[in-house]
């Protein structure tokens, strides 16, 4: 019996506008592919990384022109996850819009909810009417969400480099916080918990103690992650000086978040343009001067510790404030209007149904109109930003005075940051493309909204 050794193939599949042929490579070793191309008289090879490649999660196509193992040109193709969320929001009430925008960046849903609701409240002119307890709960949920988002970045980034243990520890830690989200909102993700005027419901009894215990557990997992990553010589070699993007490049491309702060600029919307009372919290904005993938890794870990500081402060405030309203008093805006959740955690409570159907016909009519038609928002437009885990998230809302947004547009940080792919990858190795993209931490649900 004879066996045939697999070999690489490279053949001309197309030509660009200048008549330079492109090659499609399949199988074999990179050096063999390069030799095959050289034998054919061309050294230009174009390969597709994705949408099947693990680092792109089936939603991003990277078109790489390579010379041997060196990337000479890199382009990013998006659109594989287009959901039409912004357009759909034009056909739903202002409150229903929350259930759409929470699904954009599904790794950090609470930030879209918060930014959108803050913008709606600006249009309504009720920013100062939102109860303090609701505002503190918003900060609590966002900072917990920042930790879970960074954990996904660290975990998946480690997995893509072959360090599966980093992934298992990271996701185990994230699971602890997702339990908190489920305890408070009823859902692990896509919560629709933050609503125009406040939040859907107050935190349940015992939640503060549960969160404090969870923070202790999560800190333990972060200690494990630091032991696995920070002193790992392989990780140092794979991340340092890889995916370099200096301050001038960040500024030119509108890149924000940890990528910008890794280049040394301490820009954070929570400090630069505070919202939800962030100016009253004690926390730092960590920076680095390496402008590489390693700096972004260290920054995200440090940002998680800062978020834990903020969470502890919110818990102290909630205990000090005590029980109170978590929705504006204006019954023409407060949706759901005094609605309590049923025993199944989903529908209206029997007490609420009994009240609006048995004691007050006006309450029943008002509830019906508020839920089906929605409240009216004065004509105008507004722009609201928040500090998303991936950078500056902006919301531009336009109202024509009706019960639905005339236009809703989101400046998603992943969309802007993804522009840096070519600058970060060109001139580097093919293997470093995975590292560079992972350090950007793009979530394509936000890119393709």
Does residue 351 form part of some domain?
A: no
Q: What are phi and psi of 170, to 5 degrees?
A: -60, -45
Give domain status of residue 341, yes or no.
no
Boundary (domain end) residue, out of 77, 109, 131: 77
- The answer to whether residue 119 scores a pLDDT higher than 90 is yes
CA distance 199 to 328: 9
- The predicted pLDDT at position 5 comes to 37
In a domain, 13, yes or no: yes
Q: Give the integer Cα–Cα distance in Å for 285 and 261.
A: 9
pLDDT at position 449 is 84
Closest CA to 449 of 76, 58, 52, 78: 78
Q: Angle at the Cα of 197 (from 332 to 124), degrees rounded to 5? A: 70
What is the rounded average pLDDT of the residues 250-269?
A: 93
Residue 422 near residue 75, CB atoms below 8 Å: yes
Number of domains in the chain: 2
Q: pLDDT per residue over 240-252, tens digit each?
A: 989 899 999 999 9
To the nearest 10 degrees (0 to 180), the angle between helices 293-321 and 132-160 is: 150
The answer to whether residue 288 is domain-embedded is yes
> pLDDT (tens digit, 9 = 90+) per residue, 149-208?
999 999 988 888 888 899 999 999 999 999 999 999 888 989 889 999 999 888 999 999
Q: Judge whether 112 lies within some domain.
A: yes
373: how many CB neighbours lie within 10 A of its CB?
12
Longest dimension (CA), the chain: 89
**Cβ neighbours for 355, distance < 8 A, ≥ 6 positions apart:** 363
Residue 362 lies in a domain: no
Q: What is the 3-state secondary structure (H, E, C) of 299-364?
A: HHHHHHHHHHHHHHHHHHHHHHHCCCCCECCCCCCCCCCCCCECCCCCCECHHHHHHHHHCCHHHH
Do residues 73 and 103 share a domain? no
**Same domain flag for 323 and 409:** yes
The verdict on 144 and 17 lying in the same domain is no
In a domain? residue 82:
no
Does 89 map to a domain? no
Residues 112 and 21 in one domain: no
263, 410: one domain: yes
CATH number at residue 394: 1.10.645.10
| Domain encompassing residue 71 | 9-77
Domain co-membership, 122 together with 222: yes
Shared domain for 227 and 303, answered yes or no, is yes
Q: How far apart are CA 352 and CA 331, in angstroms?
A: 15
Q: Are residues 24 and 112 located together in one domain of the fold?
A: no
Residue 398: both structure tokens together: 């336009």
Q: Does one domain contain both 226 and 263? A: yes
């Amino acid at each position: 019996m004879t066996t045939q050794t697999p070999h690489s193939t490279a053949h001309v599949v197309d030509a660009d506008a200048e008549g330079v042929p492109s090659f499609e490579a399949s199988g074999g070793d990179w050096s063999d592919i390069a030799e095959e191309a050289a034998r054919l008289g061309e050294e230009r090879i174009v390969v597709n990384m994705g949408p099947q490649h693990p680092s792109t999660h089936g939603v991003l196509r990277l078109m790489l022109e390579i010379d041997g193992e060196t990337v000479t040109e890199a382009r990013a193709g998006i659109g594989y996850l287009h959901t039409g969320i912004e357009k759909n929001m034009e056909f739903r009430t202002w409150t229903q819009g929350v259930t759409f925008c929470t699904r954009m960046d599904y790794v950090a849903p609470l930030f879209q909810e918060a930014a959108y609701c803050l913008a709606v409240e600006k249009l309504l002119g009720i920013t100062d009417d939102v109860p303090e307890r609701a505002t503190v709960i918003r900060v609590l949920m966002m900072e917990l969400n920042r930790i879970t988002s960074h954990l996904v970045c660290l975990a998946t980034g480690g997995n893509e480099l072959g360090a599966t243990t980093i992934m298992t520890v990271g996701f185990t830690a994230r699971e602890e916080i997702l339990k908190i989200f489920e305890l408070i909102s009823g859902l692990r993700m896509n919560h629709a918990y933050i609503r125009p005027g406040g939040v859907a419901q107050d935190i349940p009894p015992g939640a503060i103690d549960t969160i404090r215990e969870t923070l202790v557990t999560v800190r333990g997992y972060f200690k494990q992650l630091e032991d696995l990553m920070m002193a790992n010589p392989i990780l140092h070699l794979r991340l340092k000086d890889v995916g370099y993007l200096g301050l001038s490049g960040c500024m030119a491309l509108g890149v924000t978040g940890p990528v910008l702060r890794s280049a040394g600029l301490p820009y954070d919307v929570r400090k630069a343009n505070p919202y939800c009372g962030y100016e009253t919290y004690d926390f730092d904005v960590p920076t680095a001067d390496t402008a590489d993938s390693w700096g972004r890794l260290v920054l995200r870990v440090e940002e998680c510790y800062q978020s834990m500081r903020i969470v502890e402060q919110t818990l102290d405030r909630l205990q000090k404030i005590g029980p109170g309203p978590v929705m504006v008093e204006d019954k023409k805006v407060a949706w759901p209007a005094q609605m309590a959740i049923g025993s199944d955690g989903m529908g209206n409570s029997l007490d609420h149904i009994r009240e609006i159907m048995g004691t007050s016909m006006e309450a029943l009519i008002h509830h019906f109109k508020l839920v089906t038609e929605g409240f009216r928002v004065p004509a105008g437009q507004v722009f609201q930003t928040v500090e998303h885990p991936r950078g500056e998230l902006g919301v531009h809302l336009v109202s024509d005075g009706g019960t639905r947004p005339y236009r809703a547009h989101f400046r998603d940080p992943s969309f802007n940051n993804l522009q840096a792919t070519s600058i970060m990858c060109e001139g580097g190795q093919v293997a470093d493309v995975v590292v560079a993209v992972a350090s950007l931490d793009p979530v394509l649900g936000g890119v393709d909204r």
